[in-house]
Amino acid sequence: MKFYLPTKIYSEPECVKDHGHELASLGSHALIVTGKNSSKLNGSLDDVTAALKKNLTAYTVFDDVEENPSVETVMAARDTGVSCGADFVIGIGGGSALDAAKAAALMIKNKDCSWELMYSASPADTIPVAAVPTTCGTGSEVTGVSVLTRHDLKTKVSIRHRIFPELALIDGKYLMTASHKTVVNCVCRRQNRTDTDLEPHA
């Protein structure tokens, strides 16, 4: 059995700073997709923006990602990305922010399509995605899966497209400010999973 895992991973202290040039090389204007609070509290947002500034790369922050992000939130991120001319996306946060970032990258590339594209089997390209995870529960930084809330169906559904981040920058220091509840939830989520996001290929 073979597994397809194309994401380039750096898992080390200060990897955002040390590999900022590689992060910035993904494009000329980043859409940073994150939640309202945690990336500001743990310093990950500051690290990413500092790396982009150092490498003279423009960025726009979209910080409206909620827990269990919705299709509507992804489309709002798409609109922000299109309006600022983003040509790559950086997701910062837990699985919710990273899943939203991957889906937003698809919709920015296909800006004239409706949200239904995310659930269509038709092939579609994306702009590049980088992931800066700040929790340890989902593994979204190294998988192609993006799970979104469908309010029309009153459930969560994975989009049809497999969107792997090109780059994952993993620094354990971002967990230092996480609450005990968050860490416990991350560990329990990983232990209780019965499926796998890694797609086996023959």
Is residue 93 left, alpha or beta, with left meaning phi > 0 and alpha meaning psi from -120 to 50?
A: left
Residues in the chain: 202
Please report the pLDDT score of residue 200 as a whole number: 35
Calculated CA dihedral for residues 178, 183, 65, 164, nearest 10 degrees:
120
Contact 192, 137 (CB under 8 A): no
The conformational region for residue 58 under phi > 0 = left, psi -120 to 50 = alpha, else beta, is: beta
Residue 163 contacts residue 129 (beta carbons within 8 Å): yes
In tens, the pLDDT along 9-49 reads: 999 999 999 999 999 999 999 999 999 999 999 999 999 99
pLDDT value at residue 149: 98
92-144, pLDDT tens digit by residue?
A: 999 999 999 999 999 999 999 999 999 999 999 999 999 999 998 789 999 99
pLDDT, mean of residues 162-183: 86
pLDDT tens digits, residue range 47-89?
999 999 999 999 999 999 999 999 999 999 999 999 999 999 9
Tokens representing residue 3 in the block: 């597994």
Q: What is the structure's pLDDT at 14? A: 97
* pLDDT reported for residue 5: 83
* pLDDT digit string, tens, across residues 179-199: 666 666 665 554 554 444 434
Q: Name all domains of the chain by residue range, CATH numbers in brackets.
A: 2-201 (3.40.50.1970)
Q: CA 41, 43, 44, 45: dihedral to nearest 10 degrees?
A: 80
Whether 155 has a pLDDT exceeding 60, the answer reads: yes
